């Protein structure tokens, strides 16, 4: 699909009608978008039975069925549909749940229309990484919370990842953490297995791409 020549069909799911109408008004200026609206997660799932949008802008806090439950349901049935989560909350637990259930992006509701449109374009062109989903104030500890939850990385494995990112050799990592070279190599193998990577080069690329 050529996103530059074909309209992008979007469903906005948000129980705050005033916010949704404002969003629709701003996005409608761009003729590239065909926009529909539902007020909650239950109606969204019902609408998805007959409509296959390219993208969903999904509020998290909604009555009946919240956005995270709706996200999980949609991704299980129609994983190709892109979903951008919109929220007033940026706590670690909320973001981790969104990423875990397959969100393609996470934005706070106070972002400008330009950033939203940029994110839509990035998502529709499959250019988003885990790192680019995270708010700018999502600290290294927050990132560890996500990666430990999603990939079951231990604190020691996370420390080793940080040293790999700094281009440290296995011997340098061993010296810095007071480990045997065998233990360091074992940790690296476990990290690659958990991240489902096949080579040291792939590991380094994963670390860089996801700004670990």
Tokens 């080069």 correspond to what residue?
A: 201
Classify residue 155 by burial, with Cβ atoms within 10 Å: 0-12, 13-18, 19+. Answer: exposed
pLDDT of residue 74: 94
Q: Which of 113, 133, 153 is the last residue of a domain?
A: 133
Instruction: Give the C-alpha distances (Å, rounded to integers) separating 75 from 2, 135, 197.
Output: 22, 22, 24
Quote the tokens at residue 80: 């190709």
Sign of CA dihedral 123, 47, 107, 100: negative
Q: Are residues 114 and 27 in the same domain?
A: yes
Per-residue tens of pLDDT for the chain, all 212 residues = 444 457 899 999 999 999 999 999 999 888 889 999 999 999 999 999 999 999 999 999 998 899 999 999 999 989 899 999 998 877 777 887 887 788 888 888 988 899 899 899 989 998 766 656 666 666 556 677 778 877 889 989 999 999 999 999 999 999 999 999 999 999 999 999 999 999 999 999 999 888 78
Q: Are residues 95 and 27 in the same domain?
A: yes
Q: Are residues 144 and 129 in the same domain?
A: no
CA 168 to chain centre: 29
Q: Are residues 116 and 199 in the same domain?
A: no
pLDDT of residue 20: 93
Q: Is 70 in contact with 58 (CB distance < 8 Å)?
A: yes
Q: Are residues 84 and 112 in the same domain?
A: yes
Quote the tokens at residue 35: 């926009």
pLDDT of residue 1: 44
85 DSSP β-pair partners: 58, 106
Q: Are residues 113 and 158 in the same domain?
A: no
Quote the tokens at residue 55: 């993208």
Q: Which of 133, 162, 192 is the last residue of a domain?
A: 133
Of the chain, the end-to-end C-alpha distance in Å amounts to: 32
Q: Are residues 17 and 58 in the same domain?
A: yes
Q: Is 97 in contact with 68 (CB distance < 8 Å)?
A: yes
Q: Are residues 181 and 200 in the same domain?
A: yes
Torsion of CA 73, 76, 81, 84, to 10 degrees: 50
pTM: 0.66
Domain carrying residue 160: 140-209
Asked if the structure places residue 70 within a domain, the reply is yes
Domain total in the chain: 2
pLDDT of residue 89: 79
Q: Which residues have CB under 8 Å from 22's CB, separation 6+?
A: none
E strands present in 92-204: 105-108
pLDDT of residue 136: 61
User: How far is the C-alpha of 72 from the C-alpha of 186, rounded, in Å?
Assistant: 34
Q: Are residues 14 and 113 in the same domain?
A: yes
User: How far is the C-alpha of 171 from the C-alpha of 169, rounded, in Å?
Assistant: 5
**β-strands 8-13, 105-108: how paired?**
unpaired
């Amino acid at each position: 699909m050529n996103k530059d020549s074909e309209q992008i069909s979007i469903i906005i799911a948000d129980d705050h009608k005033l916010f949704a109408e404002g969003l629709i008004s701003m996005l409608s200026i761009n003729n590239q978008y065909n926009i529909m609206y539902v007020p909650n997660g239950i109606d969204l799932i019902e609408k998805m039975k007959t409509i296959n949008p390219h993208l969903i802008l999904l509020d998290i806090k909604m009555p009946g069925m919240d956005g995270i439950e709706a996200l999980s349901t949609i991704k299980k049935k129609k994983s190709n549909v892109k979903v951008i989560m919109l929220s007033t909350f940026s706590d670690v637990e909320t973001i981790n749940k969104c990423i875990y259930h397959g969100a393609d992006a996470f934005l706070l509701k106070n972002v400008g229309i330009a950033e939203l449109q940029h994110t839509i374009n990035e998502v529709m062109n499959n250019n988003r990484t885990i790192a680019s989903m995270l708010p700018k104030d999502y600290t290294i500890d927050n990132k560890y919370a996500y990666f430990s939850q999603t990939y079951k990385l231990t604190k020691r494995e996370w420390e080793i990842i940080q040293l790999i990112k700094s281009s440290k050799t296995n011997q340098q990592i061993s010296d810095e953490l007071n480990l045997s070279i065998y233990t360091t190599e074992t940790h690296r193998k476990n990290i690659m297995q958990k991240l489902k990577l096949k080579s040291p080069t792939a590991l380094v690329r994963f670390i860089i791409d996801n700004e670990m």
